[in-house]
Structure 1
């Protein structure tokens, strides 16, 4: 029995290390929390901006790069105020930053694109 366990460990440990290093290099993430899933899906979509949203971005001096890389990536979805079950495009309200939010971003996430409709400065 001990001999079988040794053979099992000899194969398992190097196998786990190899898988860990391969997945780590590809930058894959395994997150099943609803907030992380919605944000990850949003970042894969084509971004479309409503004219009012573009105006608010300019008045608050927010670039598209900052919106994608910081606000959305580090934001938190307010599921209580979102319409995640809306058809055909769920509507979400994102708060940025997670702690002590200063901005609210409203958007719809469709199959092909994410359309940003509202940007509101809270404080």
Structure 2
């Protein structure tokens, strides 16, 4: 019995390491939760901004890079206030950070692009 377990471990450990390194190099991620899926899909779209959104970005000194890397990637979708089933472009409300939100963003996610319509500083 111990011999079988040893052979199993000898195959399992290197196999897991190989799979881990292959998947890690491809930049894949497992995002099965609704919040993670919506954010991952949003980040793959082309971004368009309404004039009001651009003005608020300038007033709050938020760059497009910070918007993508921090606010959207670290935000949380408020599904209670979002209209995720709306056709053709679902509308979402994103708050950042997840605890004690400071920013609230409204946007719609279409097939080709994500259109950001409003940015509010909460506190």
What is the Cα-based RMSD across aligned positions, in Å?
1.6
Q: Which moved more, 1:6-15 or 1:57-66?
A: 6-15
Unaligned runs of 5+ in 2: none
Aligned twin of 1:119: 119
Aligned twin of 1:95: 95
The aligned length equals 123
Deviation at 1:65, TM superposition (A): 1.0
TM-score by length of 1: 0.90
TM value normalised by structure 2:
0.90
User: In the alignment, which residue of structure 2 is the partner of 1:80?
Assistant: 80
Instruction: Give the secondary structure class of the aligned counterpart of 1:98.
Output: coil
In structure 2, the residue matched to 1:46 is 46
**Greater Cα shift, 75-84 or 16-25:** 16-25
Taking the aligned partners of 1:67 and 1:8, their CA distance within structure 2 comes to 47
1:31-73 residue CA offsets vs partner (Å, 9 max, x unmatched):
2011111001000000000111111111111111111111101
Instruction: State whether structure 2 residue 69 is matched by structure 1 residue 59.
Output: no
